[in-house]
């Protein structure tokens, strides 16, 4: 009879422990939801920018920088390269580059990345970094 009582009280303790631990483990699932890193747009670095030269054609700029994120149909001579990064729900603009053409030749670069070796005739308007 003694072993029966010990087994019965041990079972009650295990059941109590289980009842206490289930809410604890379930609450861990809801404490911090996982947020995915978001990276969108065109990543343009200093090396890519240093390859740009005055009077490059659109196809040459396209080869160096890739497809622009924004091609405005009302400003055909302007391409915008934008790079966004952050967590889901909190996306920040990191970089923005604007490439301006005249008669299908590169004439000006505006934006956040500064050229390392700019051509002397190429206009660069840097607004950051």
pLDDT at residue number 115: 55
> Mean pLDDT over all residues of the chain?
76
Percent share of the chain, pLDDT over 90: 19
State whether 29 and 50 are in the same domain. Answer: no
SS3 category, 113: coil
Q: What is the pTM of this model?
A: 0.59
State whether 54 and 21 are in the same domain. Answer: no
State whether 112 and 54 are in the same domain. Answer: yes
Task: Judge contact between 77 and 103, C-beta under 8 A.
Answer: no
State whether 61 and 46 are in the same domain. Answer: yes
Are β-strands 123-126 and 105-111 bridged in parallel, bridged antiparallel, or unpaired? Answer: parallel
Mean pLDDT of 89-112: 84
State whether 80 and 110 are in the same domain. Answer: yes
Rounded to whole angstroms, how far apart are CA atoms 100 and 107? Answer: 6
State whether 29 and 41 are in the same domain. Answer: no
Q: How many domains does the chain have?
A: 2
CATH code, domain carrying 95: 3.30.1450
Are β-strands 105-111 and 90-102 bridged in parallel, bridged antiparallel, or unpaired? Answer: antiparallel
Task: Judge contact between 57 and 102, C-beta under 8 A.
Answer: no
Containing structural domain, residue 96: 37-126
State whether 82 and 115 are in the same domain. Answer: yes
pLDDT confidence bin for 84, thresholds 50/70/90: confident
State whether 66 and 85 are in the same domain. Answer: yes
The pLDDT of residue 2 is above 60: no
Mind listing the pLDDT tens digit for each residue in 28-67? Answer: 666 666 677 777 778 888 888 888 888 999 999 999 999 9
Q: Give the total residue count for the chain.
A: 129
Rounded to whole angstroms, how far apart are CA atoms 65 and 59? Answer: 10
State whether 81 and 29 are in the same domain. Answer: no
State whether 47 and 77 are in the same domain. Answer: yes
State whether 14 and 64 are in the same domain. Answer: no
SS3 category, 1: coil
State whether 13 and 28 are in the same domain. Answer: yes
Mean pLDDT of 73-102: 82
Residue 90 CB neighbour total at 10 angstroms: 8
């Amino acid at each position: 009879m003694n072993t029966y009582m010990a087994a019965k009280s041990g079972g009650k303790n295990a059941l109590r422990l289980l009842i206490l631990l289930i809410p604890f483990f379930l609450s861990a699932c809801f404490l911090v939801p996982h947020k995915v890193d978001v990276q969108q747009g065109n990543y343009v670095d200093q090396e890519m920018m240093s390859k740009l030269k005055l009077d490059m054609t659109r196809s040459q700029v396209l080869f160096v920088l890739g497809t622009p994120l924004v091609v405005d149909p009302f400003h055909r001579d302007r391409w915008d390269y934008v790079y966004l990064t952050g967590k889901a729900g909190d996306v920040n603009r990191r970089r923005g580059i604007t490439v301006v053409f005249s008669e299908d030749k590169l004439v000006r670069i505006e934006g956040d990345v500064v050229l390392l070796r700019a051509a002397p005739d190429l206009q660069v308007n840097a607004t950051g970094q």
